[in-house]
Amino acid sequence: MELLNLNIPSWSDLAYWRPEAILCGTFLAALLGDLIGRGRRPAISFVISVFGLITAGAYSVAAVLHGGAAHTIMGDLIIVDGMAAFFRLLFILAGLATVLFSWTAEEIMGRKRENKAEFFYLTVLMTAAMMVMAEARDLLMLFLSMEAVGLVSYVMAGYMRTSLRSTEASLKYVIFGAVSSGIMLYGLSLLYGMTGAMTFDGIRAGLLAGEVNGLSLLITVILILAGMSYKIAAVPFHFWCPDVYEGAPTPVAAIFSVGPKAAGFALMIRFFYTTLAAGADPSASAPLIELINWPLLMAVIAAVTMTYGNLVALRQLNVKRMLAYSSISHVGYLLMGFVLLTDAGLAAILFYLAVYTLMNLGAFFVVVALNNHIKSEELDDYAGIGFRAPWLGTMMVIFLASLTGVPPFAGFAGKFYVFTAVMDRQWFWLAILAALNSVVGLYYYFRVVKAMFLTRPAEGADTTPLKIHWLQYTVLAVLAVPTLVLGFWFGPLKVLADQAIGLLSTGM
Amino acid sequence: MEITLSHYLLLAGAVFTTGMVGFVIRRNAIVMLMCVELMLSSTNIVFAAFSRFHGNADGHVFVLMNFAVAAAEAAIGLAILVEIFRRRRTVNVDDFKTLME
Amino acid sequence: MTAADLIFYALAALTLVPALWVVGSPNIVHAGFNLLLTLLGVAGLFAWLGADFLAVAQLMVYIGGVLVLVLFTVMMTRVPQAREADSGAKRAILPGLFALGVLVVLLLVATGTHWGAPALTDAQPTTAEIGANFMTSYIFPFEYVSLVLLAALIGAAILIREPRGTEEDDEAGAAVETAEEEVQS
């Protein structure tokens, strides 16, 4: 047994992996804190989680400021580069915002006879697992990180057990999640067979060296796409999404709608970009993409996903369910950036994801804040609520306008970049379809605004002003201000996204 | 005829399809999870076969990780199943209409 | 046909036939025990492929762990009307066509691809190599999967645990808690 050629990770690798290591430690500490408090003192876990997330965030920001080259660590299975740094910040923002906001959410904290601390440490673990998803550069880590996020999601979806809806949604989620990961795994095994390699670079080299059968590669890619589509909820693997969002507590739905989706996109970008597209040698990539007609495949998925999400969202009377379908349509917009696997398209995805995280989390959090008082997410119950909580209403208008993509909100800038990336390569029908879809979106988003501000509440309904916790206002403001500012001052974020993708292509 | 790599792939493909069809036609959640186990097993056969024919152990490592993940997934899935059975006295997914409109 | 071929076909039959039975059998207990046979067949295939360690791990983890878990669940959730209402022929046509399509595509992939596989060498014991891999280049996934398993363990415990006592108990518990706090302060 020769051990000389094996790549042995060293402890110094951890220096590049501090945020993730801190979050794993935070998870264990918060778990222990919960046990010490005998399950009756969620504050211990809450404080540990917030502290850990902030520390990890500080290290992530420091890593971005130091800039620097990509590092492959942990025996070449993990890569920490510009894109990983970008997604780290995104996930920590989402995790921290969710943990802070949930502290005042009745759906989590108001339940008697149940442990409340679990939510906090599971969120921390999920954040760490999502970060690993954005860093995987090997089939094994790809699979393990997706499963880690999946398993934590299944538990969080079934977390509020007093509701039958929640349990059923999580059963559906876990069963279909298991089957989709099984399908993906079959694709991964075929890919391993074709190339004899596990790392993305090795797979790319193997595909370029060997004589690749177009049909086999297409089938393999479709099988793998199936598993990833489930994570990001693209049609036809979207069906779990509305049920799970509606069944799960709203703070859980909030992080589901941004975290795992962004992580899924990160994984897709790294996987397909390194194996099929540019990589080190851009001239060699075209045959692989053309062999399987990748642009048409992605364009069709994107078009169907956005149209389906929007059309079904039109009919929804439950705000949470409406937001679920709207998140499906946003996945469609995001997939447009994938059609050509160009740097511009992928950078546009990153930009859009950052903006989407802000506005979608914001919209869900407003639903949480309202649920605290009116115990409902039905559109009818939102009648006149804008006058009872004017600031909350205003912020909801900001988030919804941004989700629609109206200038001067951040959502407009995000859509602008995605659209131009597609039009640069003459995919006009896709851009036109997306524009039409945005108009449809205007209708159902505005319906919520109309209910909140233009509809009179029913006779005899409660019209006292709502008391919103200061922590909720703070978190919402932190999300709303960038949603506004990024609409006209988007330069820095765009530079960050371009850099992240640029490093990917010149990269290793 | 000598047994080649293709034989193993054909067998794995057949098991995979069986599991997938079972997943589609069966309505009992436990049987659906069993069908997923069939699909995972077929993948394990593919990995082991490729590992043998490529002559490296990467595939074996993957299969072992797959064991661990499959066990974790089964534990979570069955926990949710038992929980739902406590409430509904059924594990037939067609009965789960609460979410459907 | 040589003896080696016969062994392969026997193992293949042991894998595939019970798999079909899992799908076809209306009785959940039968399905569970047929799954056992399929997993045994897969373990045999592993052994036949020279993957000695995998074969043993399959026996211990899959059959000893996962399958027992499944069978326990079968026992815990067995309802008298276990039969499903869906075994009609009408619902079998579309999935049947779908299955045929998937099968044909997978067979095309299996036979039509140049896998670049070298000629077989004699199978070597794999345990040492797997162990070395797990302790060196694959040590990170090895540690990571333990975190995943821990998460699954906690998750299953969270999902399955009974809520604490009754409503009255909870108020009593809260009272005890405040009393404790007073004592501590």
Position A287 scores a pLDDT of 67
The pLDDT of residue A325: 92
Q: Which residues of B touch C111 (CB under 8 A)?
A: 6, 9-10
| Mutant choice from A149, A155, A207 vs C, greatest count of C C-beta within 10 A | A155
Subunit partners of chain B (3 or more CB pairs within 8 A): A, C
**Exposure of B11 by Cβ count < 10 A (0-12 exposed, 13-18 middle, 19+ buried)?**
buried
How many angstroms separate the CA of residue B100 from the nearest CA in chain C?
19
- From CA A278, how far away is CA A347, in angstroms rounded? 14
Quote the CA–CA distance of A309 and A313 in Å, as a whole number. Answer: 6
Rounded Cα distance between C60 and B68, Å, is: 12
Distance from CA of C139 to the nearest CA of A (A): 8
State the smallest CA–CA distance between residue B49 and chain C in angstroms: 7
> In this complex, is the C-beta atom of B99 within 8 Å of any C-beta atom belonging to chain A?
yes
- Flag the least confident range among A190-194, A240-244, A344-348, C88-92: C88-92
Residue B54 falls inside a structural domain: yes
- In terms of Cβ atoms closer than 10 Å to its own Cβ (0-12, 13-18, 19+), residue A6 is middle
Helix A428-453 × helix A294-314 angle, to 10°: 20
Query: Searching chain B, which residue's CA lies closest to the CA of residue C59?
Result: B67
- B86: chain C residues, CB-CB within 8 Å: none
Sign of CA dihedral C144, C148, C149, C154: positive
Per-residue 3-state assignment (H helix, E strand, C coil) for B8-73: HHHHHHHHHHHHHHHHHHCCEHHHHHHHHHHHHHHHHHHHHHHHHHHCCCHHHHHHHHHHHHHHHH
Contact status of A165 with chain B (Cβ, < 8 Å): yes
Residue A493 pLDDT: 82
As a whole number of angstroms, the distance between CA A206 and CA A344 comes to 27
Alpha-carbon distances, residue C76 vs B84, B91, C70, C83, C107 (angstroms): 12, 11, 10, 16, 39
Q: Do A175 and B98 touch (CB under 8 A)?
A: no
Q: Above 90 in pLDDT, residue A331?
A: yes
Nearest in space to B40 (alpha carbons), one of B68, B16, B58: B16
- Window B:24-53, CB contacts with A under 8 Å: 29, 32-33, 35-36, 39-40, 42-43, 46-47, 49-50
Ordered by start, the domain boundaries in chain A are 294-508
- Cα of C70 vs its chain's centroid, Å: 9
Residue B12 within a domain = no
**Structure token digits, residue C76:** 């815990």
Residue C170 pLDDT: 47
Structural domains in chain C? 1-80 (1.20.120.1200), 126-185 (no CATH)
Q: Indicate the number of domains in chain B.
A: 1
Contacts of B18 in chain C (CB under 8 A): 16, 19-20, 22-23, 99
Counted across chains B and C, CB pairs separated by less than 8 A come out at 223
Residue B82 lies in a domain: yes
Chain C residues in contact with B16 by the CB 8 A cut-off are 102, 106
pLDDT at B57 over 50: yes
Name the A residues in 110-129 with CB < 8 Å from any C CB: 112-115, 118, 122, 125
Of B16, B38, B65, the CB nearest to C38: B38
Q: Which pair of tokens denotes residue B44?
A: 């394990």
- Whether A255 and A95 have beta carbons less than 8 Å apart is answered as yes
Q: Residue A95: its pLDDT value, please? A: 93
Mean pLDDT on A368-386: 83
Q: Answer whether residue B43 is part of any domain.
A: yes
Interchain contact, C61 vs B72, CB within 8 Å: no
Q: Which of C41, C46, C67, C68 is nearest to C130 (CA)?
A: C46
Residue B80 lies in a domain: yes
Of C91, C130, C160, the CB nearest to B61: C130
Residue A132 at interface with chain C, using a CB cutoff of 8 Å: yes
pLDDT at A7: 67
End-to-end CA distance of chain B: 56
Check B41 against C103: CB less than 8 A apart: no
List, for chain C, all residue ranges whose pLDDT scores fall below the cut of 70: 1, 78-92, 116-123, 163-185
d(CA C138, CA A141): 10
- Please classify residue C132 by burial: count the beta carbons closer than 10 Å to its beta carbon, then call 0-12 exposed, 13-18 middle and 19+ buried: middle
Contacts of A246 in chain B (CB under 8 A): 99
Of A42-56, A224-238, B76-90, give the lowest mean pLDDT range.
B76-90
pLDDT one-digit tens code per residue, B27-44: 788 888 899 999 999 999
pLDDT, residue C171, reads 47
Contact with chain C for residue A36, Cβ under 8 A: no
Of A67-71, A204-208, A377-381, where does mean pLDDT reach its minimum? Answer: A67-71
ipTM of the complex: 0.91
- Chain C's closest residue to B1, CA to CA, is C1
Distance CA B94, CA B85 (A): 14
Q: What is the DSSP letter of A107?
A: H
The pTM (predicted TM-score) of the whole model is: 0.90
Which domain does B52 fall in, by range?
Answer: 27-93
B53 in any annotated domain: yes
Cβ proximity of A138 and A199 under 8 Å: yes
Q: Residue B38 domain-assigned?
A: yes
Exposed / middle / buried, residue A148 (Cβ in 10 Å: 0-12, 13-18, 19+): buried
Strand residue runs (E) in chain C: none
Q: How confident is the model at residue A285 (pLDDT cuts 50, 70, 90)?
A: low
Task: Find, in chain B, the residue whose alpha carbon is nearest to that of A248.
Answer: B99
Q: What is the pLDDT of residue C169?
A: 46
- What are phi and psi for residue B100, nearest 5 degrees? -80, 150
Q: Residue A151: is it exposed, middle or buried by C-beta count within 10 angstroms (0-12/13-18/19+)?
A: buried
